[in-house]
A and B are shown apart, each in its own frame.
Chain A
């Protein structure tokens, strides 16, 4: 019996075990999807597109915190990153980008999508428009950093002839790339959905916002390029002629106004009872956010989360043994105006004596709400836990103030004065302690994009706060800048005052108050830590003046506030001290000092060669048609 079973089994295996040889060699792969399979299924196409969205180019972002500390917005409070405030020059290839791999993938997507007849027409049109928007976005990023690049809109194929020279393309003019971005947006905006509730995929409004930004960049390069005549190339690969400024400004204004007049977006004002909290919530509140136009979204428990809050959480409320990396600079903090529309440094001294404050946060009172919304200040709370930011105790002895401090978070020591307690805290739980990583070495922590949810500071949970790439406030600022440059200060002030009203200002700016300095200032305070500063300073041709390599003193930092070309080469901090002087009315009050952290040793210098980054020598030698960027 067993024998028969065996024979039958063997026979069955023989008969059915093998397939025809030609079929054997043409089995469909099980570990990857073919083009045929993908381009008939909208879900699969969407996952291809998701990968392309995921490769959206970025420089400073919440998933790359240290890049925020290259300039003057923040100090890097992590021992491995101090070099950023110790180096003078920015290497010419630092933020260069030559991502033709991504561009090829986008071109392939566009080509295949156009041929995908099995998808419903409206679905296909939307996919196609989204890919074209992403392609325009990478070209926009290329032109921001490199100037004109070869404009390749077809996936190139090598024919294995041994001669690849036909694949070489010369650089387009800088203005050509901007024109391409602008015209693409005109084409696709009618195809993309006009639903303002879509935040993480392209919409009509994103197309317009990107168009407005691109046209503004091109316009300001055309207008302010005269300040840096050597930053140009004879073929126009770098530099835009001045006569193009006005049409570009008009385009920027028109695109912004189309968004504004649609009334689909508005400034975030859900928490009007606390304007600082309102400004912070604008970035972490993802439910029906009326201001966000386009964001990189994250989701808890999905594998796509970010660690901005872990990296930057104050020590006092930290959920891990780390945090506090980004320390916003005093240079940035004192840009936030007083509510009477005047610039003023924080009052540290009154004649030869200090100014004494009852509460650590009193020195920041009466300011633009965006100060407390962008920066965690001493004397405030984060996640309901009071901050403990102060640098030491100043005790009165021998007719003068002496300072005692600790070298670890919240150190205890005995103040060497008769009658003082044997042991008391001599430095804040959050620092600042000079040279101690994760402490607030400038006296501040960052608040923008910080997640107030419990667990956001834990490595096991992380955060799902999104990274806002385009928002309505920037559209208003684009409109305000373009209107100003087009000699319409009345229109400009209307847009700008909307932002300022949200920030707590009660006196609107008059038309006569609008100036270039004002435009620059408003963008800096509104858009701090959103990745704009470098590229704004580049297009205004201010970068080589603002970061000119000259040392600045504490007096320089607190003077000339609000001037667009103010030198900002070194980061300063504002450190609070507790007064110990029993019997004196100032006992237990707070004073402040302007301090330069000891790890800030060099003054940043932005050379003319930094305006357009270096094209790598391997790229240049592969393609002799490419011309080098000027000055590098």
Chain B
């Protein structure tokens, strides 16, 4: 008798609750920040934009971080969103939206969506070439193309060449770097930098003996906080 009673309780317990959770968000919004279709590379965790979903009581932004290759992705509920790139974000200016005539873009999410966000960078790093020079240095060359040339144009403050042991390479993640002041650049179409590879590559933590480093070029634009970068490139030392 007692046993049967126990089973009944168990059965009741198993069926007593039904799932009362909301569905998890399932629509992915992803893409790149681009200029004319070319991804704008930024530092690894400094650039973000905001999605606002109006109509839900107190308003708060969903902050979407942009990866260092300019890609982003966000898992969202279906619905209507407003997309805005805050003016302090990134080495670029946002483009006025044709529909809203402001910096706000209206978005309707219904299922997965791939969308590139066009921005107006101050510069683009073109033809970046990073290669081993000798056995202990990495040299780079690139062309700096000035994109914004109107009243909002800004000068290049410094060009950096960064090396790091991991694929995250930017102003706070590097083991070696060299720099060239913007005023010392004679020909923006021909910017050369070279940096020595440190004796110990695995300087930050232990990754074992590593015979490669990662490198990329960063451009600090005067008055703009976030740097503009070239693509991360692996340099094999041996």
Interface of A toward B, CB cutoff 8 Å: 88, 229-230, 549-551, 601-603, 605, 607-609, 617-618, 620-622, 630-632
Check A607–B225 contact: CB distance below 8 A. Answer: yes
Check B88–A609 contact: CB distance below 8 A. Answer: yes
Q: Can you show 25 pairs from A to B with CB atoms below 8 A apart?
A: A229-B223, A230-B88, A230-B225, A549-B171, A549-B172, A550-B171, A550-B172, A601-B204, A603-B172, A605-B172, A607-B225, A608-B88, A608-B225, A609-B88, A617-B58, A617-B59, A617-B61, A618-B58, A618-B60, A620-B59, A621-B60, A622-B58, A631-B88, A631-B225, A632-B88
Interface 1/0 per residue, B51-64 and A, CB below 8 Å = 00000001111000
A residues in contact with B172, CB < 8 Å: 88, 549-550, 602-603, 605
Nearest chain A CB to B54 CB, angstrom units: 11
**Which single residue of chain B is at the shortest CB-CB distance from A604?**
B172
For chain B residues 30-63, which have a beta carbon within 8 Å of chain A? 58-61
Q: CA–CA, A631 to B223, complex, Å?
A: 12
B residues in contact with A550, CB < 8 Å: 171-172
B residues in contact with A230, CB < 8 Å: 88, 223, 225
Check A617–B60 contact: CB distance below 8 A. Answer: yes
**Which single residue of chain A is at the shortest CB-CB distance from B204?**
A601
Q: CA–CA, A230 to B87, complex, Å?
A: 10
Check A630–B88 contact: CB distance below 8 A. Answer: yes
A residues in contact with B223, CB < 8 Å: 229-230
Nearest chain B CB to A225 CB, angstrom units: 14
Nearest chain A CB to B66 CB, angstrom units: 16
Q: Which of B60, B172, B204 has the most CB of A within 10 A?
A: B172
Q: Nearest 5 A-B pairs (CB), nearest first? A: A631-B88, A617-B60, A621-B58, A621-B59, A549-B172
Q: CA–CA, A582 to B204, complex, Å?
A: 38
**Which single residue of chain B is at the shortest CB-CB distance from A622?**
B58
A residues in contact with B88, CB < 8 Å: 230, 608-609, 630-632
Q: CA–CA, A601 to B205, complex, Å?
A: 10
Q: CA–CA, A617 to B62, complex, Å?
A: 11
Nearest chain A CB to B22 CB, angstrom units: 21
Interface 1/0 per residue, B187-230 and A, CB below 8 Å = 00000000000000000100000000000000000010100000
Nearest chain A CB to B177 CB, angstrom units: 9
Q: Using a Cβ–Cβ cut-off of 8 Å, how many residues does chain B contribute to the interface with A?
A: 11
Interface SS of chain B: helix, strand, loop or mixed?
loop
**Which single residue of chain B is at the shortest CB-CB distance from A631?**
B88
Q: CA–CA, A512 to B59, complex, Å?
A: 56
A residues in contact with B60, CB < 8 Å: 617-618, 621
A residues in contact with B204, CB < 8 Å: 601
Q: CA–CA, A619 to B58, complex, Å?
A: 9
Nearest chain A CB to B16 CB, angstrom units: 37
Q: CA–CA, A602 to B174, complex, Å?
A: 11
Q: CA–CA, A229 to B58, complex, Å?
A: 32
Q: CA–CA, A608 to B61, complex, Å?
A: 20
Q: CA–CA, A83 to B171, complex, Å?
A: 20
Q: CA–CA, A551 to B225, complex, Å?
A: 18
Q: CA–CA, A621 to B52, complex, Å?
A: 12
Q: CA–CA, A88 to B43, complex, Å?
A: 14
**Which single residue of chain B is at the shortest CB-CB distance from A602?**
B172
Q: CA–CA, A608 to B225, complex, Å?
A: 7
Nearest chain A CB to B226 CB, angstrom units: 9
Could you list 14 further interchain pairs (A-B, Cβ under 8 angstroms) beyond the known A88-B172, A608-B88?
A: A229-B223, A230-B88, A550-B171, A550-B172, A551-B174, A602-B172, A603-B172, A605-B172, A609-B88, A617-B60, A618-B58, A621-B58, A621-B60, A622-B58
A residues in contact with B59, CB < 8 Å: 617, 620-621
Q: CA–CA, A601 to B172, complex, Å?
A: 11
Q: CA–CA, A549 to B225, complex, Å?
A: 12
Q: CA–CA, A630 to B174, complex, Å?
A: 28
Q: CA–CA, A460 to B60, complex, Å?
A: 47
B residues in contact with A617, CB < 8 Å: 58-61
Q: CA–CA, A230 to B88, complex, Å?
A: 8
**Which single residue of chain A is at the shortest CB-CB distance from B88?**
A631
**Which single residue of chain B is at the shortest CB-CB distance from A616?**
B60
Nearest chain A CB to B12 CB, angstrom units: 42
A residues in contact with B174, CB < 8 Å: 551
Q: CA–CA, A550 to B225, complex, Å?
A: 14
Q: CA–CA, A608 to B59, complex, Å?
A: 25
Q: CA–CA, A631 to B172, complex, Å?
A: 19
B residues in contact with A88, CB < 8 Å: 172
Nearest chain A CB to B65 CB, angstrom units: 13
**Which single residue of chain B is at the shortest CB-CB distance from A88?**
B172
Nearest chain B CB to A387 CB, angstrom units: 33
Q: CA–CA, A324 to B91, complex, Å?
A: 44
Q: CA–CA, A620 to B225, complex, Å?
A: 25
Nearest chain B CB to A341 CB, angstrom units: 33
Q: CA–CA, A602 to B172, complex, Å?
A: 8
B residues in contact with A607, CB < 8 Å: 225
Interface 1/0 per residue, B89-120 and A, CB below 8 Å = 00000000000000000000000000000000
B residues in contact with A549, CB < 8 Å: 171-172
Q: CA–CA, A287 to B136, complex, Å?
A: 66
B residues in contact with A618, CB < 8 Å: 58, 60
Nearest chain A CB to B221 CB, angstrom units: 12
Q: Which of B58, B59, B88 has the most CB of A within 10 A?
A: B88
A residues in contact with B58, CB < 8 Å: 617-618, 621-622
B residues in contact with A229, CB < 8 Å: 223
Q: CA–CA, A632 to B60, complex, Å?
A: 14
A residues in contact with B61, CB < 8 Å: 617
Q: Which of A550, A551, A617, A622 has the most CB of B within 10 A?
A: A551
Q: CA–CA, A139 to B61, complex, Å?
A: 28
Nearest chain B CB to A102 CB, angstrom units: 23
**Which single residue of chain A is at the shortest CB-CB distance from B58?**
A621
Q: CA–CA, A607 to B59, complex, Å?
A: 25
Q: CA–CA, A526 to B60, complex, Å?
A: 43
Q: CA–CA, A230 to B86, complex, Å?
A: 13
Q: CA–CA, A597 to B204, complex, Å?
A: 14
Q: CA–CA, A607 to B86, complex, Å?
A: 15
Nearest chain A CB to B102 CB, angstrom units: 15
Q: CA–CA, A98 to B171, complex, Å?
A: 33
Nearest chain B CB to A45 CB, angstrom units: 39
B residues in contact with A601, CB < 8 Å: 204
For chain B residues 172-186, which have a beta carbon within 8 Å of chain A? 172, 174
Q: CA–CA, A535 to B191, complex, Å?
A: 39
Q: CA–CA, A605 to B227, complex, Å?
A: 14
Nearest chain A CB to B159 CB, angstrom units: 15
Q: CA–CA, A230 to B226, complex, Å?
A: 13
Nearest chain A CB to B160 CB, angstrom units: 10
**Which single residue of chain A is at the shortest CB-CB distance from B57?**
A621
Q: CA–CA, A631 to B86, complex, Å?
A: 8
